[in-house]
Amino acid sequence: MNLAPFTLRSHNPDVLTCIANLSNDEVFTPPEMASAMLDLLARTWSEANNGADIWADPDVRFLDPFTKSGVFLREIVRRLTSGLAATIPDLEERVDHILTRQVYGIAITRLTGLLARRSVYCSKHANGPHSIAKSLTTEDGNIWFERTEHTWTNGTREFRVDPLTGDEVTIYTNRRCIYCGAGEGDYERGNELETHAYAFIHTDDIKARVAELFGEDMQFDVIIGNPPYQLSDGGFGTSAAPIYQMFIEKALGLDPRFAVFVTPSRWFAGGKGLDEYRKTMLSDHRMRNIVDYPKLYEAFPGVKIRGGVSYFLWDRDYEGPCTVQTMWDGQPIGEPVARYLDAYDVLIRRNEAIPILEKVCAEHEPTLDVRVSSRKPFGLPTNFHGSTTKRGLKDPVQLFGSRKVTWVDRSDIPLNHAWIDEWKVLMTAVQGTSAAVETKFLSKPIIAGPGTACTETYLVAGKFSTEEEATRYAMYLRTRFARFLVSLRKSTQHATRDVYAFVPDVPLDRDWTNALLYERYDLASEEIAFIESQVAEHDDTLVNHGGEHSDE
């Protein structure tokens, strides 16, 4: 029998490293990462089963419920083929047993179904003449795909006249799928296009759905994979809503012995609509391991996933702390640390940051999120622009916007009129970089004097009665210490008020420097070194726009 499918990874290059990703939403997992995830699974299985080898067990069942390239299933088959050699000596019988009784997948599209079957069965048809599975009777085999439709609900009811009959008809617009939240305008498609209505999450009863696909007695020991990440939510530009949490919740609902998934890491501290998911995951003490890749592009070369990616292992029978390991340039950095993830309302990524944060929190001081405004502090959107001159305005106010400073009349400002006449420190609501590593975390503060306002481009980080207080506050926000604490909560480019929730609201009775702050919180030399390795200095220039302005 041809052994090529099971020795493929020894060739250079592996064919699955040469396939372009479908999109940033449906990312193919590199074989190296799939292998690392399976290595972690094997070690954990051995620890939980008195040293047993998972790859030597002919009864363990594996499911990839969102298979794309088939890389997880292919690697599992390769390992089982080697591990079961003593139990099932005949190679053809052994391979057939693995493919018919141990390895299962649910493809996310018709294309990925064909690709996964080709990777696993060496044939796009599981029952074809070239398939290495000899007992499968259907073309799909154990890698299932059928087109699924969205289930639209709600929307706006409209009455229109049928141009042919003249009859009034009722239609609904702007409906959304009750399962995944997809908008009808984006995802109602003809038969020639994929619906992206993923069967695994378009169900009220996941156990019943899996029983329909694979049989009533199907219980999976291991569920592993890389779910689709997001769907367009109909918002401005490339706005999208995460959906990977829906797949994780459904998978855990199948009650596997182990679950291993790779997802974006932004759920650690942010992400649209992820608050409940984050709370649930952080408080679940069955989370046994997290391996985190914070550096952009490292885990998935060429794919920009803001905040990086990570994979975790969930163990149904475990109760305890989670071991967190950071990876950088392919190597673990620092020591892995076992800790309870729900010590804070966000997941602190770096183990080295924990003792620093503990020292700060031990002072029980108020934090800056109370000072910082919500988005759109004066009620003006980002695309609002005033006049280039204040001439002709009854009561001119200088407006800080996305591209330049303009002028508006006070009466045109919808909210917070009282703030106009105070000293303010403004911070951009979005701060990021296209580089692989973020090092600034906050923009330079802008000191805006009385007679000023801003659009949604900025947050009002603080309001003061004197220029001295505003200046000292701006200096504080520029310190590495303050920006380090922001970094612990900032997983994307968005710098909302929540990212300031670890930054203590220190008294503004002095000009705060990093040295004074390190001394105030009794930081050790290695803790200071860690902060300064993570956060770059801003230059010494403060941006100050006082109360007197030219209208030129």
Listing DSSP states for 475-492 in one string gives HHHTSHHHHHHHHTT--S
Which is it for the CA torsion 123, 129, 130, 132, positive or negative? Answer: positive
pLDDT score at 268: 96
Report residue 254's pLDDT band, with 50, 70 and 90 as the boundaries.
Answer: very high
Burial code (b: 16+ CB inside 10 Å, e: under 16) for 106-136 equals bbbbeebbbbbbbbbbbbebbbeeebbbeeb
Burial code (b: 16+ CB inside 10 Å, e: under 16) for 431-466 equals bbeeeeebebbbbbbbbbbbbbbbbbbbbbbbbbee
CATH numbers and ranges of domains, the chain: 4-148+198-348 (3.40.50.150), 359-545 (no CATH)
Q: How far apart are CA 70 and CA 63, in angstroms?
A: 11
Going across the sheet that includes 543-545, the strands are 458-464, 423-428, 446-448, 543-545
Where does 113-267 show beta strands of DSSP type E?
143-144, 152-153, 156-161, 168-173, 176-177, 222-225, 230-232, 240-242, 258-264
Nearest to 35 by CA among 262, 191, 247, 204: 262
Write the pLDDT tens digit of every residue in 51-76: 999 999 999 999 999 999 999 999 99
Report residue 238's pLDDT band, with 50, 70 and 90 as the boundaries.
Answer: low
pLDDT score at 143: 97
Residues 421 and 452 sit within 8 Å (Cβ to Cβ)? no
Check pLDDT > 60 for residue 193: yes
Cβ neighbourhood burial of 215 (10 Å; 0-12, 13-18, 19+): exposed
Residues 502 and 367 sit within 8 Å (Cβ to Cβ)? yes
Write the pLDDT tens digit of every residue in 324-361: 999 999 999 989 999 999 999 999 999 999 999 999 99
Report residue 118's pLDDT band, with 50, 70 and 90 as the boundaries.
Answer: very high
Nearest to 102 by CA among 123, 124, 87: 87
Check pLDDT > 90 for residue 434: no
DSSP string, 398-437: EEE-SSSEEEEEGGG--S-HHHHTSEEEEEESB---SSSS
Q: How far apart are CA 346 and CA 271, in angstroms?
A: 11
Report residue 8's pLDDT band, with 50, 70 and 90 as the boundaries.
Answer: very low
Cβ neighbourhood burial of 100 (10 Å; 0-12, 13-18, 19+): middle
Burial code (b: 16+ CB inside 10 Å, e: under 16) for 26-57 equals bbbbbbebbbbbbebbeebbeebeeeeebbeb
Q: How far apart are CA 531 and CA 534, in angstroms?
A: 5
Q: How far apart are CA 114 and CA 492, in angstroms?
A: 35
Report residue 420's pLDDT band, with 50, 70 and 90 as the boundaries.
Answer: very high
Report residue 9's pLDDT band, with 50, 70 and 90 as the boundaries.
Answer: very low
pLDDT score at 488: 96
Neighbours of 231 (CB within 10 A): 21
Structure tokens at 511: 């000009």
Mean pLDDT of 29-38: 95
pLDDT score at 154: 87
Q: How far apart are CA 98 and CA 77, in angstroms?
A: 7
Mean pLDDT of 166-174: 75
Mean pLDDT of 406-435: 91
Structure tokens at 467: 């220029």
Q: What is the pTM of this model?
A: 0.88
Report residue 450's pLDDT band, with 50, 70 and 90 as the boundaries.
Answer: very high
pLDDT score at 119: 95
Name the percent of the chain lying above pLDDT 90.
Answer: 75
Report residue 14's pLDDT band, with 50, 70 and 90 as the boundaries.
Answer: low
In order of 5, 46, 221, 423, 471, the CA distances from 88 in angstroms are 18, 21, 20, 78, 75
Neighbours of 235 (CB within 10 A): 11
Check pLDDT > 70 for residue 12: no
Q: What letter would DSSP give residue 44?
A: H
